[in-house]
Structure 1
Amino acid sequence: MIKRFLQATSLCLLTQAGMVMADNHERFKDVKIASAQVSEGLYMLTGAGGNMAVSIGKNGTYLVDDQFAPLSERILTAIKDLGGDVPKFLLNTHWHGDHTGGNENFGKQGSIIVAHDNVRERMSSNQFIKAFNRKVEPAPEAALPVITFGEGVNFHWNGDVLRVRHQPNAHTDTDSFVQFKAANVIHTGDLYFAGMYPFIDASSGGSITGVIAAADQILEVADVNTKIIPGHGKLSNKAELAEYRDMLKLVESRISKMIAEGKTRLQIVEAKPTADLDEKWGGGFMKPDKWVSIVYDGLN
């Protein structure tokens, strides 16, 4: 089970980084969309890509993120099996393809795509993910958010208030998290990778400092009973998010100190500043040396 989880996580992150094309149907032929109830009418969906959330109720279906285009039919089938339908609203937590790859398919079926201003800006222009030396072409018009916001937006939906809040320069410069207030559930997008080192896209405006600030914001609105859907990894909670935040602060402190001492990226990587943390956090896609160099890029 652990091996399968790590393999799935690696695939999710590889695709996020743009190293697997969204239209590669062969890559996704065996992917199954699984659902788990998180609260009344609210579910976490998993497959190959970022974790999704779906709210189903009297107002209709509201979907958070949508993985990859070849999975759209399977995602919709899973939603219908839960009693939902084509989402009326589709929220993108940020611009990466494993969270927005199904936009065009859902948009053409009538879903209203919502995201931060920077999501539309990045999706509608050429992008380059430096960490993986990968160019990303502009998305088609039908895949772009049609409603965008600056600091945040609220949805009054299915008997709940969904508070969406932007977190600047964190995983990217496009990130938002959504709090389902009555359900006491938070979907963090890629502001949180549960149980593993996160990918931080410095070429898209991300930095470890921003991820720490975002974790602090989420922890402020969470309580001991809050269920947290991370961008990647298992369903989580406030205590686990706090532990993740503390790990990030420790890594930031160590690498910032070495940068201030004038050490180069290579010297910092070779010094293994996360050696005592790697057993717990280094089992995901971001291996320690790559993780340290990505943190360095966002701080230097």
Structure 2
Amino acid sequence: MRRLAYALLVAASVPAAAQQQDFSKVEVRVERVAPGVAVLFGQGGNIGLSHGEDGNVLIDDQFAPLVPKIVAAVSSVDPDPIRFLINTHWHGDHTGGNERLGQAGAVIVAHDNVRRRMSVETFSKQMNQTIKATPKAGLPVVTFAGGVNFHLNGDRIQVVHVPNAHTDGDALVYWTGADVVHMGDTFFHRVTFPFIDRESGGSIDGMIEAAKRGLALVKPGGKVIPGHGPVATREELKAYHDMLVDVRSKVAAGVAAGRTRAAVVASKPAAPYAATVAADGFIKPDRFIETMYDELKAKRR
């Protein structure tokens, strides 16, 4: 199941690819993280949930076929309607349920670049596939450049844009009272090495800065919801940040020394961290290094 889930991490950016999968056996599990905050695990990106007297706010929504199960899981926590849906970025395993939830009345909120990318048909070189434009009902109707705040359910929920990290439209979502941050796909916890979507404007330096921003938001003892993987501690997010910094420095040194891509990959700069990531993760160490090498090499030209 884990292998399938992460094989879908990119493929699911194409709605048709998601429709071809059998979601009938997927269970949506709820984990309560803090008062008024929960996370839903199913297939695709982790879903954050703010619940309480003002209604439900979702962060991401996985795939369209899972919407009935997602709604049922939300109702098991709070029977009120889903008022708002925040997308952490544009990939289909985080936005696949947008159209159905938008049709049901949820107000969709995301960064400007999320709407821009979802509004047009795009060809993905890395997948050799065309990603169709999202129907109007699934597009964000409220967009922001730097961020936006929600004052709901007895908390202030900060939505903060972190530029050019996993993509060019990433947002972190922080519950200031509950001290919980949803990192979207700027943080992959235990399940795979990081996926930096350079075609969507992602970068290793942005990933590092996103992790740093998350650390500045969440306090010691707070909880961190990754885009994929189990709920983490602030200390685990710090270890992830330090891994990114360490591996980047090694790859950058290889690039500066004029070493070839193959030579840098063969030096295994991510090897010390292999035990912290699932062996069947979607992004293998070599691919992680190749992506980083290509980016840092291009920056030196």
Same fold at TM > 0.5: yes
Scaled by the length of structure 1, the TM-score of the pair is: 0.93
Q: What residue number does 1:158 align with?
A: 153
Q: What residue number does 2:295 align with?
A: 298
Q: What residue number does 1:27 align with?
A: 22
Matches within 5 A, 1:187-266: 187-195=182-190, 196-266=192-262
CA distance in 2, matches of 1:52, 1:77: 13
Say if 1:226 and 1:238, in contact at 8 Å, map to a contact too: yes
CA RMSD of aligned residues (A): 1.8
Q: What residue number does 2:39 align with?
A: 44
The DSSP-based 3-state class of the residue aligned with 1:132 is coil
**In the TM superposition, what whole-angstrom CA distance separates every residue of 1:116-173 from its partner, at most 9, and x where no partner exists?**
0000000011224443333311111111000000000000011100000000000000
Q: Percent identity?
A: 44
Given the alignment, which residue of 1, 7, 10 partners 2:6? 10
1:139 and 1:83, CA in 2 relative to 1: closer, same or farther beyond 3 A? same
1:292 and 1:136, CA in 2 relative to 1: closer, same or farther beyond 3 A? same
Q: How many residues align?
A: 295
Say if 1:93 and 1:176, in contact at 8 Å, map to a contact too: yes
1:156 and 1:120, CA in 2 relative to 1: closer, same or farther beyond 3 A? same
CA distance in 2, matches of 1:59, 1:40: 14
Q: What residue number does 1:112 align with?
A: 107
Q: What residue number does 1:139 align with?
A: 134
- Deviation of 1:297 after TM superposition, in Å, equals 3.1
Listed as ranges, the gaps of 5+ residues in structure 1 are none
CA distance in 2, matches of 1:180, 1:145: 21
The DSSP-based 3-state class of the residue aligned with 1:182 is coil
1:189 and 1:29, CA in 2 relative to 1: closer, same or farther beyond 3 A? same
Q: What residue number does 1:72 align with?
A: 67
CA distance in 1, matches of 2:226, 2:214: 11
Q: What residue number does 1:125 align with?
A: 120
CA distance in 2, matches of 1:129, 1:75: 28
- Deviation of 1:272 after TM superposition, in Å, equals 2.4
Q: What residue number does 2:83 align with?
A: 88
Say if 2:187 and 2:194, in contact at 8 Å, map to a contact too: yes
